[in-house]
Amino acid sequence: MKTDRILILASAACAYPGADAVGQAHLSYPANTFVLRVPSPVVFPESFYYDSFEKGIGGIIVMSCGVECPYEGAYEKLAARLDRVALGLREREINPRRLKLTSICTVCTKSFLKEVTDMNKVLAAEGVAA
Amino acid sequence: MSRDEVKIGVYICHCGGNISDRVDVAMVAEEAGKLPDVVISRTCMFMCADPGQELIAGDIERHGLNRIVVASCSPSLHETTFRSAVVRGGLNPFLYEHVNVREQVSWVHASGRDATAKATTLVRAAIARVRHHEPLSPIKVGASSRALVVGGGVAGLRAALDLAGFGLPVSLIEKSPKLGGRVEGLGTVFPAGESGAELIRTLVEQVSAADEITVLTRTHVTGATGYVGNFSVTVSRDTGNSSAIETEIKAGAVVVATGSTPYRPVEGEFGFVRFPEVVTLPDFLRILDQARSGGALTVNGRSIRRVAFIHCVGSRQIEGIHEPKPDCSLNLNCSRVCCTATLKAGSDLIERFPGTYVYDFYRDIRTYGRGHEEIYERASADGVVFLRYEVGAPPQVTEAAPGDAGSMLVTVRDSLTAGMEIEVAVDLVVLAVGMEPAEVGALAQTLKFPSGADGFLQEVHPKLRPVELAVAGVVLAGTCQSPRDIEESCASASAAAVKVAGLLTRGYVELEPFVARVSAERCEGAGACVSQCEYEGALKVVEAEVDGQTVRKAVVNGALCTGCGACVAVCPTRAIDISGWTLDEFEAMVDAICADPMEVAGD
């Protein structure tokens, strides 16, 4: 069962404070978003993404620190893994645009909102409206 | 601990309405209370206040709770607070889970129904996660006892002296050739009227005499790495002959005292640049400080008898009225000190140069501090003439006609006289300019310092952690944080020093125990994890004897592991995890998020 729920995997050092900054600025975005704080999204194996979609998650936005990741080499490993997951999603006939890797810093409020908006558009096109 | 022993306490914070104005906290608590193993589910007006914390500690003892979930503000503010409350109740601090229903729910979702539904789901996910939590112990890491103070103005000097008073070694760096900052050029300073130069001279003498303090002038930060207890800051020292020396300073904590800069009016703003006798308040204070009293003040060779002071120049700017800077920003904030400084300057001028007329053009007078109102009364008693302007009708500065009493005319629609247009001929216009944040430079860029919309560095919380940055081990002193006077700058510098002393006098810091751990039962010694690890010595495969057989197992060096989790994702048998952040926990949260039918409309 596919839902409109968006899972946001937010790095504790950058993206999670970035999501907080959106709140501190009292900006608004849809409530179908669930932010999970993680030390680094590199922790998740490929199966985590497939299983999450299987469980009903509509979209996953991986918000990392990007090249400014405090963990050496983690971002590059994460990016390579998500490339493989994108191929795996195609094989499973899941729109790979339902998974997005992005970099969000502690003050990237506009980028955060844009990513949420974009993912909701993807889900809307899939027939799951937020 | 077996699964059926789990007893969970759930607490939903109103945050005085910040959360409960949008989220139906009673409903969230009620829904949480229906979940298995939840023994207590409560709401509280302020969970972070003493009664809220005591509620947790008391419930643990009364009800034998062994897992705690609190839904409140961001974990950056109160995760540590609630872990401490859990400890006071007799539990391990890591048997705790934090849910952020303020910054990521009530402050971002307009619909109360949606916010309540989301908060309920997030609490459900936290309950699912906390079941998996296990007791953990912080990792103790040796810390450098040295403190680095960046900026040698009044706040940096005060912080360095206080740190030295705790017996800590201090490196004090200043980018200019001498210590002292801006205070030295202010003449006498309010509220007591002592000499700014004398104040700085006293502090510099004390700093020079302190064996604990190493001063590096002409020095700026070029880069920084590390973490609380173990920062490595690279500084470059200008030797004065077109060369620089790079040095590395190892420090356990950093005090940022980089100060502020006065707003520079744009050309034409109240006649600035167009008329040479339009000056900023800091420039005027320097002129006044250097002038000999008696007769008439002389500026640019001209005798000054009539002076206009204009308040709120570059402060309290309003979109659509004031001209934005090239980066489209405006200084929205009140700079706080300029009202009192302006009034004092007006009085000083009249008292030192009797016969001088002073006209004070203001939007509002904000003499907020102890002893400041007396300065306002003194200005009135000295004969300062007050004229009030509205924000949309600021005073106009134009050239005077021949025969006028001064070289410039200041015209204002004075709201104190029912909007009457008044023209004042003056010889000098002084612009009470606001404060803007100074460039912090490489330190802020490399360690990722957060700043507010006004550009000043932003503390974690204005009341609960007022001098700490979100970057652990970095504290703020003085006007790098916000406009403030000397007294307030010194107070924040002393507070910053105490915070640093609390960190560094123990000789070690405690880091969160979120590092990799290996299940010996599951590990088959494949070594995929080792190939992913970037940290030398953090992870290796060793041979061990198990039931008389030699087997290969991965082992973790917790002091070297950073807890990034790169190893976790590649283990074919799921034998490795990050303590406190296990895959089982994340999967349980996803299950909980997907579990309930959601009826969320877009905001």
Instruction: Extract long-range pairs of B420-425: CB within 8 Å, 24+ residues apart.
Output: B422/B387, B424/B306, B424/B308, B424/B359, B424/B387, B425/B306, B425/B400
| Residue A100 Cα, gap to closest chain B Cα (Å) | 17
* Residue A130 falls inside a structural domain: no
Contact B133, B501 (CB under 8 A): no
Chain B residue closest in CA terms to A2: B594
List the structure tokens of B233.
Answer: 């800051």
Relative to beta strand B357-362, strand B385-388 is parallel
User: Residue B564: which of A28, A35, A39 has the nearest Cβ?
Assistant: A39
Mean pLDDT of B159-171: 98
Confidence of residue B241 (pLDDT cuts 50, 70, 90): confident
* Residue A32 falls inside a structural domain: yes
Mutation for testing the A interface, residue in B111, B590, B596, B603 having most A CBs under 10 Å? B590
* Residue A34 falls inside a structural domain: yes
User: Residue A55: which of B104, B448, B591 has the nearest Cβ?
Assistant: B591
**pLDDT over 70 percentage in chain A:** 96
| Residue A19 Cα, gap to closest chain B Cα (Å) | 7
User: Residue B534: which of A19, A33, A73 has the nearest Cβ?
Assistant: A73
Confidence at residue B596, expressed as pLDDT on a 0 to 100 scale: 67
Question: Which amino acid is it at B501?
Answer: A
B316 phi and psi, to 5 degrees? 50, 40
**pLDDT over 70 percentage in chain B:** 98
Contact B506, B143 (CB under 8 A): yes
Q: pLDDT at residue B247 above 70?
A: yes
Confidence at residue B314, expressed as pLDDT on a 0 to 100 scale: 95
C-beta atoms of A57 and B590 within 8 A: yes
C-beta atoms of B590 and A55 within 8 A: yes
Question: Taking CB atoms and an 8 Å cutoff, what residues of chain A touch B19?
Answer: none
**Lowest-confidence pick of B122-131, B441-450, B519-528:** B441-450
Beta-carbon contacts of A127 under 8 Å, excluding residues fewer than 6 positions away, are none
Confidence at residue B1, expressed as pLDDT on a 0 to 100 scale: 45
Nearest to B448 by CA among A22, A19, A116, A18: A18
C-beta atoms of B565 and A39 within 8 A: yes
Nearest to B146 by CA among B158, B163, B122: B163
**Residue B184 per-residue DSSP state:** G
C-beta atoms of A43 and B583 within 8 A: yes
* Residue A120 falls inside a structural domain: yes
pLDDT in tens, A25-80: 999 999 999 999 999 999 999 999 999 999 999 999 999 988 777 788 899 999 99
Confidence of residue A2 (pLDDT cuts 50, 70, 90): low
Chain A residue closest in CA terms to B590: A52
Question: Taking CB atoms and an 8 Å cutoff, what residues of chain B touch A74?
Answer: 534, 564-566
**Cα angle, residue B230 at apex, residues B225 and B235 outer, rounded to 5°:** 50
| Residue A23 Cα, gap to closest chain B Cα (Å) | 4
Confidence at residue B448, expressed as pLDDT on a 0 to 100 scale: 72
C-beta atoms of B76 and A36 within 8 A: no
C-beta atoms of A3 and B594 within 8 A: yes
Give the CATH number, domain containing residue A99.
3.40.50
Confirm or reject contact between A105 and chain B (CB < 8 A): yes
Question: What is the Cα Rg of chain B in Å?
Answer: 30
C-beta atoms of B76 and A25 within 8 A: no
Confirm or reject contact between A34 and chain B (CB < 8 A): yes
Nearest to B538 by CA among B520, B509, B515: B515
* Residue A24 falls inside a structural domain: yes
Nearest to B430 by CA among B321, B299, B333: B299
User: Residue A23: which of B104, B589, B590 has the nearest Cβ?
Assistant: B104
Q: DSSP readout, B346-410?
A: HHHHHHHSTT-EEEEEES-----STTHHHHHHHHHHHTPEEEE--TTS--EEEEPPTTSSSSEEE
Confidence of residue A130 (pLDDT cuts 50, 70, 90): low
CA distance A5 to A123: 9
Relative to beta strand B260-262, strand B253-256 is unpaired
Length of chain A: 130
| Residue A64 Cα, gap to closest chain B Cα (Å) | 12
| Residue A130 Cα, gap to closest chain B Cα (Å) | 5
Count of helix runs (H) and strand runs (E) in chain B: 13, 32
Confirm or reject contact between A14 and chain B (CB < 8 A): yes
Mean pLDDT of B476-490: 97
Nearest to B160 by CA among B90, B213, B124, B217: B213
List the structure tokens of B436.
Answer: 């803007």
Beta-carbon contacts of B112 under 8 Å, excluding residues fewer than 6 positions away, are B22, B23, B24
Confirm or reject contact between B560 and chain A (CB < 8 A): no
Alpha helices in B211-280, H assignment, sequence order: none
- What's this model's pTM, rounded to 2 decimal places? 0.74
| Residue A112 Cα, gap to closest chain B Cα (Å) | 12
* Residue A100 falls inside a structural domain: yes
- Describe the strand order of the beta sheet including B8-13 as a list of residue ranges: B38-44, B8-13, B67-72, B96-100
Q: pLDDT at residue B425 above 90?
A: yes
* Residue A1 falls inside a structural domain: no
| Residue B407 Cα, gap to closest chain A Cα (Å) | 47
Question: Dihedral sign, CA of B528, B531, B534, B540?
Answer: positive
Confirm or reject contact between B589 and chain A (CB < 8 A): yes
Nearest to B204 by CA among B183, B219, B234, B190: B183
Question: Dihedral sign, CA of B145, B146, B148, B154?
Answer: positive
3-class SS of residue B236: strand
Confidence of residue A129 (pLDDT cuts 50, 70, 90): low
Confidence at residue A64, expressed as pLDDT on a 0 to 100 scale: 93
pLDDT in tens, B372-406: 999 999 999 999 999 999 999 999 999 999 999 89
| Residue B590 Cα, gap to closest chain A Cα (Å) | 7
Contact B104, B76 (CB under 8 A): no
Q: Could you say which residues from 383 to 412 on chain B have a Cβ atom under 8 Å away from some Cβ of chain A?
A: none
Question: Taking CB atoms and an 8 Å cutoff, what residues of chain B touch A54?
Answer: none
Confirm or reject contact between A25 and chain B (CB < 8 A): yes
C-beta atoms of A28 and B103 within 8 A: no
CA distance B342 to B348: 10
Instruction: Extract long-range pairs of B49-55: CB within 8 Å, 24+ residues apart.
Output: B52/B11, B52/B13, B52/B85, B53/B81, B53/B82, B53/B84, B53/B85, B53/B88, B54/B85, B55/B11
Confidence of residue B601 (pLDDT cuts 50, 70, 90): very low
Q: How many CB pairs under 8 A join A and B?
A: 149
Question: Dihedral sign, CA of B330, B271, B276, B185?
Answer: negative
Confidence of residue B557 (pLDDT cuts 50, 70, 90): confident
Confidence at residue B4, expressed as pLDDT on a 0 to 100 scale: 55
User: Residue A42: which of B115, B470, B565 has the nearest Cβ?
Assistant: B565
Mutation for testing the A interface, residue in B97, B449, B512, B594 having most A CBs under 10 Å? B594
pLDDT in tens, B52-99: 999 999 999 999 999 999 999 999 999 999 999 999 999 999 999 999
Q: What is the 3-state secondary structure (H, E, C) of B54-65?
A: HHHHHHHHHHCC
Confidence of residue B240 (pLDDT cuts 50, 70, 90): confident
Confidence of residue B603 (pLDDT cuts 50, 70, 90): very low
Q: Could you say which residues from 57 to 86 on chain A have a Cβ atom under 8 Å away from some Cβ of chain B?
A: 57, 68, 70-74, 77, 81
Length of chain B: 603
Confirm or reject contact between A26 and chain B (CB < 8 A): yes
Chain A residue closest in CA terms to B73: A20
Q: What is the 3-state secondary structure (H, E, C) of B281-303?
A: HHHHHHHHHHCCCCCCEEECCEE
CA distance B183 to B202: 12
pLDDT in tens, B428-470: 999 999 999 998 888 888 777 877 778 899 887 787 789 998 7
Mean pLDDT of B163-169: 98
C-beta atoms of A31 and B593 within 8 A: no
Confidence at residue A1, expressed as pLDDT on a 0 to 100 scale: 60
Q: State the residue range of the domain holding A42.
A: 6-125
- Walk me through the domains of chain B, giving residue ranges and CATH numbers: 1-137 (3.40.50), 147-259+438-509 (3.50.50.60), 263-435 (3.50.50.60), 515-578 (3.30.70.20)
- pLDDT: which is higher, B241 or B32: B32
* Residue A65 falls inside a structural domain: yes
Confirm or reject contact between A107 and chain B (CB < 8 A): yes
Mean pLDDT over the full length of chain B: 93
Number of domains observed in the structure of chain A:
1
ipTM value for the complex:
0.97
Give me the residues paired with residue B214 across strands.
B171
Nearest to B587 by CA among A44, A42, A33: A44
